[in-house]
Each structure stands twice: as structure tokens, then as C-alpha cells.
Chain A
Amino acid sequence: MSLLLTLLWPLTALAAPVQARHVVVDLLTETSTVTAGEPLWVLLTFAPEPHWHTYWKNPGDSGLAPKLNWQLPPGWQAREPLFPTPAAIPYGKQINYGYEGESGLLVELVPPLVMQEENVALTLDARWLVCADACVPGQAEFKLELPVTRFAAPNPRHKSRFAQARFSLPLKSDIAGTYRVQGEQIVVDLPARTLPRSVSRVFIAPGQIAEAELAPDLTFKEDRLLIRLNRHSYFSKAPPQIEVVLELAGQGWSVPARLQPQGESQ
């Protein structure tokens, strides 16, 4: 019996992929055991059928970002999922932000500093929307059971998937910019020193700040980049900070822009 359980460990640690309607969803862990006080990285992957897509955190004109609901033991914390650089997916005049191929959301789970138990059970309730012309919502529950060890055992089978997922994230730059609401426009002002001199797409999160645009108005001025976007028709309130993701040839850069207080000079 105990031998059987031992044999089953790796199987339970690797929750099976879920074949849902039009998409295969899986949850992978970077390590096959977990260690007190050391973050455990997990990857929720979506592999939609050809021409179907899932969504970025700001889905654009329609659609819905995946929702992750964790059930974790006491003392554990789940950070917000990290989304790969999205693509712009036009549908007629409307534009969505998301992923037509396989994509993965990286999530950092933070265990407590002390763990007495031998195993931990982590449960994820994942909900998503996958769309082509039609949209289909999906839901799956993933249960992970991981042994607690002094040193986290790497999971070589998942190494390349995690490397790929990290590569797909927008690069975090150490710069920060500002943005302001100017009449019907959103004007983003970024220090451009560490940014590419040409940018093919601009993505703003959260939603309802700027209208999705395939060809944003960009001006490189000395060492600054000014981005003028149409204020979203459903804009209601300017948050203290927005995330600006710039994309060039598949590579993204993520830059935070804080709201420039009114009257503040540039």
C-alpha cells in the first residue's frame, strides 16, 4: 500500500490536463515538492484549438480574462497571475487582447515560513472564456498534492515550459512613467531610454481606460515616448496607476504609469 502511494506521488503532483471544449487546460508546478518559505511557481496553461483564443487581463472590446480562485492551506498566499504579452485579435471593427496559440499564466504561491505537515493540498478553481466567432466558458478544478521537503525538488519535465512562460512575459523595466487624461485623450509619457525606438502595439491595463487601437499615435521626443490614445467610451475613473505594455516583434515591455496629478507640470 505504501509502495503504491509512493508510486502515485508524482501522478498526483502532476494534475492531469483537462480537455475542455475547444481548449486544453493544465496546471504545472515548477518543483515536485514544496519547501517552507520558498515560493512555489505554478503555470496554468491554455492550448486552444486553431483560431480559438483566450484573453489577456484586459480582454479589450469583449471577452473575459481567466479567473483563478485558490483554496490554500492556512498561511499560504497566491499572488496575482502574470500574463504573457498579448496579441491584438481584431473581430470586425472590434479588437480583443489575448492569445491564439498556447499561453500560460504564471502564479507565485507563497507558503508560510514554517510547515509542520508532510504534504500540502492546493486547489485551483479556474474559469475562462475561449472564443472564435462563438464563445464558450469553461471551468476546471485542479488539485495538487505536494510533499513538503527541506529542499524543493526540481521538476525537469516542466523546465522548458516554465522557461517559455517566463520568456513570454513582458520585460519589467525599472522605469516608470506618468499618464494624464486630456479631454478625449489618454496621454502616456514614458522615459524611453531603455525602450525600443519603434513599437508595434500598445496594450493598457486595466480595461476601460483607452480604446484598443491597432496603430497607436507614438512620438519619440528626445528620451521620452509620448503615446496618445483615445479615451475609452466607457472610461469612468482614472486609477492611480496603469500598466502600459509595449510590444515589438512579439517581445513586450511592461511599464507602470502613475496618474499625473492635475496641474502638475511635466
Chain B
Amino acid sequence: MNRLLRVLLGMVCVFSVGLTQAAPKPGAMAPDFTATDTQGNTVTLSRLQGQYVVLEWTNHLCPFVQKHYGSGNMQALQKTYTDKGYHWYSIVSSAPGKQGNIDAAKANELTTSRGAAPSGVILDPSGAIGKLYDARTTPHMFIIDPSGKLVYMGGIDSIPSADKADLAAATNYVKAAFTELEAGKPVSTPVSAPYGCSVKY
């Protein structure tokens, strides 16, 4: 009886691990997805292995996003890392009719007008990719290493606010993570509080 119970419990554990594996976790493989970016290119995360990938959840009407774009902070990060050959995808998971929901033309116009420099913008109106990553806020940042493992997830920096004046004193976690990764060190802050507007699923 005891043995049967243990076997059953074991099965339950395996099953629940199987379920929780889907949720993103630093050190685990990043959930794979295939999408088409706003330039019409097919993006499959697992095919980007061999290089770092940044995923940035965004909504151009969210004041927290506006803090990081209005100050040029986000564009500067995008430029720094795409210049190194890293991949950077901005993802919009706003559902149709919800704040921030845009079409490809609008997304491309925003990239141009804001001087943004991502590798591509992915529209996710069904929220499938957002839910795969349990993206909660805009912005919400994820870094995936060349082996496909998630090495950072969380906020863009250490001061949750919508105020540009806080940028100078904040620790930018994306920058901090890359500084450590490029020096061959593990990321010392692999998880931080994502802050911002809710993702408009």
C-alpha cells in the first residue's frame, strides 16, 4: 500500500514538474516559439541559438514604456546589443481593442519615429507568446543565452517608477546581466521584480 502510494505520488510529482517546466525559470531552457515579425521575417527562438537573445514586452502607450523610450534608454540598449550581433525582439501582446494593440505598419512607424533598434518587433495579439513567458508588465525583460537557457527575467531596472529622473540612479539589470555574461560570470541578479503596466491580454 505504502509502495503503491509512493509510486502514485512519484507520478504526481513527475506530472507537476512537466507542467511547471513550461513556466520560464532562470537556468532552464527558454520556452520556444515561432512568430513572424513586422517586417515579415519568421523568427524561431531555438534557431537563434549561438547568440544572446533579448525579449522585451512593450506597449507604446504605457507610461512606464514611455519613460524608457522618451529618455532614449531603451533604444540605446537595443543599439548597444544589436550592434554586438545579439538578437533583440520587442513583443506586443496587447489584444485587439486593448491599449497598445497595433498593426505591423504602426509598429514599423514607431520603430522609425522613436529611433528604436530592435532586431524585430513581434505582434502577439492572441497573447500566446506572452502567456508562454508569463509576461506580466510592460516593460518586462528576458535574456536568453547562446545555449537557449533563460539567464535573466524581470524588470528593466532597480527603481520601479514612471519617472525619467529615476533612470540615473537605477541599476539597469539588462546591462548588468550582459556585463557579467560578457566577463564569463554568472548573472548575479537572475530575477527581479518586473514593474510597469499590466500586459493588455
Contact = CB atoms under 8 A, between A and B. Distances in A.
Contacts of B162: 64, 129, 135, 137
Contacts, number: 65
Given A135-B63, A136-B63, A236 B198 contact: no
A127 interface: yes
Contact of A133 (B24, B189, B200): B200
A67 B166 CA distance: 12
B197 A135 contact: yes
A140 B163 CA distance: 13
Nearest to A235: B191
Chain B: interface secondary structure? loop
A230 B73 CA distance: 34
A67 B162 CA distance: 11
A234 B194 contact: yes
B201 interface: yes
Contacts of A217: none
Contacts of A136: 63
A208 interface: yes
Interface stretch (A88-96, A113-121, A218-226): A88-96
A38 interface: no
A155 interface: no
Given A63-B198, A133-B98, A133-B200, A94 B136 contact: yes
Given A127-B163, A137-B63, A64 B198 contact: no
Interface of A: 61-64, 67, 91-94, 96, 127, 129, 131, 133-137, 139, 184, 207-208, 233-236
Interface of B: 20, 23-24, 61-64, 98-99, 134, 136-137, 153-154, 160-163, 189-201
